[in-house]
Structure 1
Amino acid sequence: MPKKNKSVKKKKRFEMLHSKYGELEKCAEMNEADIPIDIHIYKLHDWLVSRKIGPKNIQMQLKDIRNKITNALKDMPSNEQLIKLLTGTNINYFHCKQIVEILTETEKGTKNVFGSYGSQRMKDWQEIVRLYEKDNIYLVETSQIYVRNNNYEIPGLKKQMIKLEQQADECLKRIQDLAKPETQIQAEHTALLQQLGVKGLNLQEEFINVLNTLSEIYQKSIRNVNNIENAIDLYADCSEQKVCLPLLKHLVEFGNTTIYQYIHKEAPLSVEEPVLKLNITNRNSSNSGVATENEIDFGCDDNGGTSSTISAEIIDFGDLNLENNTVNYDLSETEGAEIDWGIETSAADNVEVSFDVPIEEYGIVVEGVGMDGGVAKGEQAYTLLDAPNYRNRILDELYELEAYLRMRLFELNQLDNSNNIMFALSDNISTHDSESIVKMLKNVDIILQEINCEQTRHLFQLKHSPKYADLLVSKLDHMTKGVEKIRSTKETLKDQAAELKQQRLELTPVLAELTKQTKDLQFKIEKDISKRYKNRVVHLIGGI
């Protein structure tokens, strides 16, 4: 009995252990099915090779398959599903299977009683599918496509889209930056046209019209010249010169007269100023190109008198064409470099003409020098402010008077009483205090500013300098072309920005489709590997 009981106990213990072991096996199997398989996409190919699921190198097999696919595509039936499937797609194993499924419908008429197809198309694509499934080539290729999409294709598309956005933003920013120089150049162009008093539509006609109003501008600039008479008298009393500031005195007394009247102390019977001829070739409007020829011809009077011209380097007062017996009435007219400090010699002081004796006995030829019967011609027909030499002398006298007044004001402000002031030698001088000097100085400054304003200087040099006229028109042309170039650049940048944005929008569906295809490949790879491992859950890590 004891031995029997012992054997029964052993048997029961064995059965119990066996049942427990079976339960443990079942638990292990259940736990293993619940454990997911995590594969990083960077190691996906190595994982497949290490598990002997697919070969390491599939390039030769893929080359053969690609050749067969190329040949098979040459003979395809006309089917909407096939056209949609093959449009813009890199064919892989799964596409080949879909093609075979479509061909089962289009080629079902070639199927024999044994279930095989007589169509060569079907045979070609079935052969391609078979080659793909041999050694699991399809799984390795799909893994490579999936990894390439994740690592290169999708990031590359995203970077390209970001770059397009940045380029479009740079174009828009560049457009905003160009607005400032465009406004600046346009403002300078408008200001210059306003200074010249023209609109810029037809420069040749407008320049001639505005130059014809130059005498009115001169007259307007010296409308307050009488206000400096006290300053001239003060300077004359102080300097004790016999002739002091003769041109300013003449302007105060007679206004802006002709040079003829200033020299001969009488008004001419008539004035024949040289004809103004302004020829600007191919510069008809502000939009025209740079002229190939630009010339200002101020003409020549009948008696040979020529007008003066002024340029940036030299003042040329022309040639009077005097004969041997001609009298030079004003030496300062032909010597532009000399400065007249106030001693004026008239022609009447140098030459005396007796009407009782024939003028031929004196050897004097009056004809051709601007005194032809009291008619002002050539240089002497210009007004004092319009003749380059006399205009410069007037400005010199104004600056001289201004300098004296400033010195006088400085002395009055520095010294305690008028007894110690230099030049305070007369009652008339000492009666002027600093307030009156400041008023005189202000009047002189006003005359200087009006005579030497921007518009007057532009028009004066335009009239007397062909070179300046050419530079002025060229400057206007360059400003206009600069604005046009900036506007053209802005339009180009605007179109480029719109094009870049359009390219960015066109890539959005491409990225979405590629992302969808990649996710589909991921699902198929995970499903295929899961079947090989008892339907365990498979996760591809590192993908989208």
Structure 2
Amino acid sequence: MLTSVVNNNITFNMMDEQNIPIDINTNKLLDWLISRRHVNKDWQDNVLKIRGKINNAIQDMPAHEGIIKLLSGQHVNYFHCLKIVDILKETEADSKNIFGQYGSQRMKDWQDIVNLYQKDNLYLAEAAQMLIRNVNYEIPSLRKQIAKLNSGQGECEKKIKDYTKTELLAHKEFDAICQQLGITGRNIKTELLELLKDLPDIYQKITEKIKIIQPAMELYTEFNKYLLGKEEVALLTALKYLIENGNTTTYEYTYGQKPVQVEEFTPVTLEARTSESEDVESNEIDYDEIDFEINTDNSIDFGDIVVNEEQNIDWGNQESSDEGFEMVSHEDLNYNLEESGIVVEKTGIDGGIAKGEEALTILDNPKIASQIMNNLIEISAFLKMRMYEMANDTDLLAMTQMQDAPTLLQMQTIESITSLNDCVNVVLDQLMNRKLLHLQNIKHSPKYVDILTETLKQKLSVVERMKANKKILEEKIKGMRDEARAIEPVIKVLIDKTKELQKEIESDISKKYKGRPVHLVGGISML
């Protein structure tokens, strides 16, 4: 009875032990096989010889769909070799002799490979190494590559957004400048030069508008008269002239009389280039072109030289020799009418010819326009100071001093001063209009039109460059997306093959331990 119980316990323990699973960490699988003496430490040297035989055997294979599938895109291992031998049993059946041996060299080669693999369990060591490499390196590497490609796409998309912002900003700035100047931007330089035709109309509008500041100017003038105790004070000369006389020529502003003729001022930027021979002025005086004026006393005025009706010529300090007058050539004179101080005048109050800067209107003349601007700023500063003083109720001294002031000064209020200052600001805004400033610079600065043209073209070049960069990035994103899509099925196949290899290894090890369940755990569970 006792013996029966003992035998039953032993049998039960053996059955329990057979059901106990063997858990092996995937990363330590190879070490586990070596420690259990399933494989030798020098297994790699022998495997290299087998790999060489496999490479040679692959060169001569029958056209079979199953073999093609086994050999495509993966590393051939022992388990593949077993399947290849099974397939060859069908394809090479004709070479089988009466003893059940195959005469086909293909079959012999693959059977020899299988036998070498089985010796010392080399196949198990190689399969374990493949499994570890797939789990720890191949699959993670491909996943990292996809992650890198996805990250690259994100960076490219971010850059595209930045390029889009830059493109829109440059285009907005270009449109703003074109709108400011009143051009389409298609033929920039030509359009800019055409704008110069608008200057007279702009100056005319300013001339009409500037009259609204006359009350402010009168107030400023009266205030200075009161402070200085004078009946007349020279203030705001350029501004006063513009209001009273309009936008006349600089010649009339300078000399106080209208010119007989105005030679249109041609900006340097619009002048045609001429040869050096055309730029050299002749030193000879062409008397046919001189308009001599006969005065009422029948004498001709040459400046310092006077020919009277008796035709006695006063040559100044010239001395004649006994042989007669000394002949003086025109080349020896070496001067022209302007340098000699001769002014050709017309009868009446009109003057000579206005040319160069004197032909410019006072608003078109940078120097005089600057004086007008300074006059306006001067009035504005005065009005702001008056508003501050009048708002300061504690300034009793200032209030006392203004008791003897003229009625025009005493009747002013903060509201009236503010209104006058608003009028001055309106005129200042027109004179400081960006379009006007651009046009004046284009007309008077030889290089400004080229600089402005280049600035606008740079805006357009930025737009085109951003578009080109975006196109390159979009193509790059497409390439990375296609590459990532191509890698995904590779990973899937590799995972499937790795799991298949895992089952084969577990099954093979299980056979060595009388069918005990074997589980490879660790990194492989993360696949």
- TM-score bracket, shorter-length normalisation: 0.7 to 0.9
Shift of 1:374: 5.3
- The answer to whether the 8 Å contact 1:54/1:140 transfers is yes
Aligned position for 2:139: 154
| Matching of residue 403 in structure 1 with residue 381 in structure 2 | yes
Aligned position for 1:507: 487
Query: Do the aligned partners of residues 463 and 423 (structure 1) sit closer, same or farther apart at CA in structure 2, a change above 3 Å counting?
Result: farther
SS in structure 2 of the partner of residue 223 of structure 1 = helix
Deviations 1:126-179 (A, max 9, x none): 111111111110011111111111122222222222222222122222222333
Aligned position for 1:359: 301
- The answer to whether the 8 Å contact 1:384/1:391 transfers is yes
- The answer to whether the 8 Å contact 1:411/1:421 transfers is no
- The answer to whether the 8 Å contact 1:276/1:299 transfers is no
Aligned position for 1:9: none
Deviations 1:101-147 (A, max 9, x none): 22222222222222222222221111111111111100111111111
1:469 to 449, 455, 467: 449
What TM-score, normalized to structure 2? Answer: 0.81
Query: Do the aligned partners of residues 260 and 321 (structure 1) sit closer, same or farther apart at CA in structure 2, a change above 3 Å counting?
Result: farther
Aligned position for 1:123: 108
- The answer to whether the 8 Å contact 1:275/1:298 transfers is no
Aligned equivalents of 2:191, 2:403: Cα separation in 1: 52
Alignment of structure 1 residues 501-540 onto 2, 5 Å: 501-540=481-520
Aligned equivalents of 1:323, 1:233: Cα separation in 2: 53
SS in structure 1 of the partner of residue 302 of structure 2 = helix
Aligned equivalents of 1:505, 1:355: Cα separation in 2: 105
Aligned equivalents of 1:417, 1:321: Cα separation in 2: 70
Aligned equivalents of 2:257, 2:350: Cα separation in 1: 14
SS in structure 2 of the partner of residue 466 of structure 1 = coil
1:108 to 86, 93, 103: 93
SS in structure 1 of the partner of residue 447 of structure 2 = helix
Calculate the aligned-residue CA RMSD, in Å.
3.0
Shift of 1:406: 2.5
SS in structure 1 of the partner of residue 520 of structure 2 = strand
Aligned position for 2:3: 18
Aligned equivalents of 1:362, 1:405: Cα separation in 2: 52
Alignment of structure 1 residues 75-114 onto 2, 5 Å: 75-114=60-99
SS in structure 1 of the partner of residue 24 of structure 2 = strand
Aligned equivalents of 2:415, 2:257: Cα separation in 1: 38
Of 124-133 and 358-367, the range deviating more from structure 2 = 358-367
Aligned equivalents of 2:445, 2:272: Cα separation in 1: 10
Deviations 1:242-282 (A, max 9, x none): 4332221222123222213323444445533123464xxxx
Letter in 1 for 2:405: L
Aligned position for 2:148: 163
Letter in 1 for 2:2: L
- The answer to whether the 8 Å contact 1:418/1:424 transfers is no
Q: Size of the alignment, in residue pairs? A: 465
Letter in 2 for 1:479: K
2:253 to 250, 254, 262: 262
Aligned position for 2:203: 218
- Structure 1 gap segments, 5+ residues each: 1-15, 279-295, 307-319, 325-352
Letter in 1 for 2:301: I
| Matching of residue 485 in structure 1 with residue 465 in structure 2 | yes
Aligned position for 1:272: 263
1:191 to 176, 180, 203: 176
Aligned position for 2:41: 56
Deviations 1:18-45 (A, max 9, x none): 2222222221221112211111112211
- The answer to whether the 8 Å contact 1:366/1:372 transfers is no
What TM-score, normalized to structure 1? Answer: 0.79
- The answer to whether the 8 Å contact 2:189/2:453 transfers is no
Aligned equivalents of 1:66, 1:422: Cα separation in 2: 115
Query: Do the aligned partners of residues 449 and 234 (structure 1) sit closer, same or farther apart at CA in structure 2, a change above 3 Å counting?
Result: same
Shift of 1:228: 1.2
Aligned equivalents of 1:475, 1:391: Cα separation in 2: 26
1:233 to 195, 198, 218: 218
Query: Do the aligned partners of residues 171 and 213 (structure 1) sit closer, same or farther apart at CA in structure 2, a change above 3 Å counting?
Result: same
Shift of 1:367: 5.5
Aligned position for 1:327: none
Deviations 1:358-416 (A, max 9, x none): 32144652369xx9975532222211111111111111221222222223333333334
Aligned equivalents of 1:18, 1:191: Cα separation in 2: 108
Aligned equivalents of 2:455, 2:443: Cα separation in 1: 17
Aligned equivalents of 1:156, 1:358: Cα separation in 2: 107
Aligned equivalents of 1:221, 1:98: Cα separation in 2: 99
Letter in 2 for 1:379: E
Aligned equivalents of 2:210, 2:79: Cα separation in 1: 101
Alignment of structure 1 residues 233-382 onto 2, 5 Å: 233-240=218-225, 241-268=232-259, 270-276=261-267, 278=269, 297=271, 356=297, 357-362=299-304, 364-366=341-343, 375-382=353-360
* Identity rate, percent: 40
- The answer to whether the 8 Å contact 2:303/2:342 transfers is no
Aligned equivalents of 2:412, 2:296: Cα separation in 1: 50
Aligned position for 2:322: none
Query: Do the aligned partners of residues 323 and 242 (structure 1) sit closer, same or farther apart at CA in structure 2, a change above 3 Å counting?
Result: farther
Aligned position for 2:119: 134
Shift of 1:355: 5.7
Aligned equivalents of 2:58, 2:344: Cα separation in 1: 106
Aligned equivalents of 1:506, 1:36: Cα separation in 2: 39
Aligned position for 1:350: none
| Matching of residue 209 in structure 1 with residue 189 in structure 2 | no
- Structure 2 gap segments, 5+ residues each: 226-231, 286-293, 306-340
Aligned equivalents of 1:126, 1:218: Cα separation in 2: 105
2:51 to 55, 66, 78: 66
Alignment of structure 1 residues 404-443 onto 2, 5 Å: 404-414=382-392, 415-416=395-396, 419-421=399-401, 425-443=405-423
Query: Do the aligned partners of residues 382 and 321 (structure 1) sit closer, same or farther apart at CA in structure 2, a change above 3 Å counting?
Result: farther
Shift of 1:421: 3.7
Aligned position for 2:288: none
